[in-house]
Amino acid sequence: MPSAAALLDRAADHLTRAADLTETTDPAFAGQIRLAAATLPSGTGDSDLVPAPSRYNSPAPFASTVDVAGLLERALDCLDQIPPLAGPADLQLCAWHLHELRRIATSGIAS
């Protein structure tokens, strides 16, 4: 199982990608996603399973296989894998925030 730091990094990578995908259609929602990513402490983990955000400059390879709600779900899954005592003190609050962002993305409230 990956370390808590690696899972936090991976979750932040998913959130960065979700914000990038949303930026042109709903910049306000993208800002909310970026804010959620900023609340995650940066680990020194080995998050090599998800490409670094700098590799996301071209959305074409991901556009047909990944959507914003899916990326938010993946980020939430990463947080769910972290044991409560191994993560940051506000881990549950971060997970709740991601849950709400995913709910907004799937409900169609975000444009």
Determine the angle formed by the axes of helices 4-22 and 91-107, rounding to 10 degrees: 30
72-102 residue pLDDT tens: 999 999 999 999 899 899 999 999 999 999 9
How far is residue 26's CA from residue 52's CA, in Å, rounded to a whole number?
23
Contact 2, 83 (CB under 8 A): no
pLDDT at 8: 95
Average pLDDT estimate for 8-21: 95
- Which pLDDT band holds residue 10 (cuts at 50, 70, 90)? very high
**pLDDT tens by residue, 36-80:** 999 998 754 444 444 444 444 444 444 445 799 999 999 999 999
Number of independent structural domains in the chain: 1
User: The domain containing residue 94 runs over which residues?
Assistant: 4-107
